[in-house]
Amino acid sequence: MCGIVGYLGRQPAAPILFEGLQRLEYRGYDSAGIAVVGTSALRVHKAAGRVGEVAARAPKRLGGKVGIGHTRWATHGEPTDANAHPHVDASGRIAVVHNGIIENASELKATVLAGVAFASETDTEVLAHLIAAQDHDELEDRVRAALLLVEGAYGIAVVDQDQPDRIVVARNGSPVLLAVGEHEMFVASDAAAVIRHTDQVVHLDDRELAVVRAGGYRTFTLDAVPTTKAPTRTPIVATAYDKGGHRDHMHKEIHEQPVAVERALGGRLDRRFATAHLGGLRMDPREVLALRRVKVLGCGSAFYAGLAGALQIETLARIPADAEAASEFRYRNPIIEPDTLYVAVSQSGETFDTLAAVQEIKRKGGTVIGVVNTPGSTIARECGAGIFLHAGPEVSVTSTKTFTSTGVAFALLALQLGRTRDLGPADGGRIIAALDALPAQIQQVLDAEAEVAAVAERLAGAESAFFIGRVRGHHVALEAAQKLKEISYVHAEAYPGAELKHGPLALVSPAVPTVAVVPDDELWEKNLSTIAEIRARKGPVIVVTDSSAPVDGADAVLRVPRTAPELAPLLLGIPLQLLAYHCALQLGRDIDQPRNLAKSVTVE
């Protein structure tokens, strides 16, 4: 979940490296640094702090046209100047940047590298010394030999002052790509770093390395077997990473949701047969009819979106479905059933825990599809089938448009599965009509942002808050509580509404507001009873609903348009995104880059 960038070509490397790192800063922003191969020495500039701060203090003498850079999310060692990347060997000749975790770093220090003096607390420095210790002439052979001794996940880029014509890169569990320019080459952990220079990219696979020179590249496996990799065009455009006149990327991405939903729906609605058509699903009707269960896997917001998706599938397709945290799945030695469809959800397509779950399912013969936002990502390639969100790049650490687009993707999946099984054409048509109306309804909610901002003042002064919801409202409450925690640092917990009286009600007080997600459904009266219980303890209540009916006792009510009941959570979540955003704004938080978090979690 750190960011890597590298450059070889005819231009000065340092400005390109710092520019690329700033575009990757959402992947880690504890510290940053670059190493540039100079005419006589390897020059390293690194420090704790944001990329812009580190770049502003960079010496002017960082000349050179080959270099690597890194922006860090700390794992081994605190975010200090010494622990910042790049790390160098004892001679100062070899520099390494690294994403991932070297699991046997302590063992290597005690054996192969016994007696070596280390300048940092990081596992990455082990790689620099290990590469230098290998008895080979070519840098790529040194790197390959060193990696054969390593256990763990890595995406690395390496330069050697004595071989200034190349960068050697490798990946195993952490993404690395090459980008092909005109007489210049780039390496990166994410296309965002290089998209302003070229849209031609090459994705490395696990246990694959590349030697990159200004005129081209050569790829091979960790076992020294040559591989063939042709560049492909990335659909991402550079302007997608700009704020577009908004104060923050999060605000921009919240407001991009009507367009993102339109893209998610584009070409996928079959109105003639009142169904959806997902070309990436690759399941014929017989296979769909043979399904006995659907299991959704994800982490964080992807897990909460999975809860919503499982509910939609059970409701519309009448197939038993549930969601589970991917980080726990493989460690309980799961039973992989041949008649179960497994669905892996990951915005980045690189989430390590979710990727490991996919690999476990495949190893045991299961059928798994991906729901991802990033074409060419590891999970997309591992699954080989699934649903792309087409939401466009999401830069803010906090997921908004990809969460909503994932909900739309699950609605389409549930509709297609349902129409193949027992869902009638009338209900299929009803869902399609609701999906068609969704972008305009989301825009209607966004147009009422000022009302939400005023309500956010009630949360900004609280030290803790509850979020409650039942059935369709429960996962909305879970996601909303996470949003508030992530960017405002206000402690928040989410519960099913009926569970409040089984313990959490003890904490309700005038100082602890409750946000109640109340769809206009068969549980309306029961939700009102729960609100009455809170008010009886003098707890403030903010209600989010799609009903026009009065809500007695509520301190504030945020209303969204009516839609099909199955899709109501998609609309109910939008004002809660704005609520968290404006709460954080009023508290002066760093909204796009909240403390301790990063966008793409590629370590376990």
Q: Residues with catalytic annotation?
A: 2, 599
Q: What's the rounded Cα separation, in Å, for the pair 403 and 396?
A: 12
Count of CB atoms situated within 10 Å of the CB of 557? 18
Classify 571 as helix, strand or coil. Answer: helix
Please state whether 244 falls in left (phi above 0), alpha (psi between -120 and 50) or beta: left
Tokens of 578: 């704005």
Other C-beta atoms lying within 10 Å of the C-beta of residue 295 = 24
Give the dihedral sign, CA 586/589/594/599.
Answer: positive
Strands (E), 503-548: 514-518, 541-545
| Residues sharing a CB contact under 8 Å with residue 593, sequence separation 6 or more, in sequence order | 25, 26, 29, 397
- Residue 442's nearest CA partner among 574, 266, 547, 265 is 574
Query: What DSSP line would sit under 297-366, residue for residue?
Result: EESTHHHHHHHHHHHHHHHHH---EEEEEHHHHGGG-PPPPTTEEEEEEESSS--HHHHHHHHHHHHTT-
Residue with tokens 């270099």: 67
DSSP, residue by residue, 259-279: HHHHHHHTT-EETTTTEE--T
Enumerate long-range contacts of 582-588, CB under 8 Å, 24 or more apart: 582/449, 582/452, 582/453, 582/456, 583/456, 583/459, 583/460, 583/484, 583/487, 583/488, 583/490, 584/487, 584/488, 585/247, 585/456, 586/456, 586/457, 586/460, 587/460, 587/488, 587/489, 587/490
What are the angstrom distances between the C-alpha of 340 and each of 45, 131, 433, 595? 52, 45, 30, 39
| Cα-based torsion angle of the residue sequence 243, 247, 248, 252 in order, rounded to the nearest 10 degrees | -60
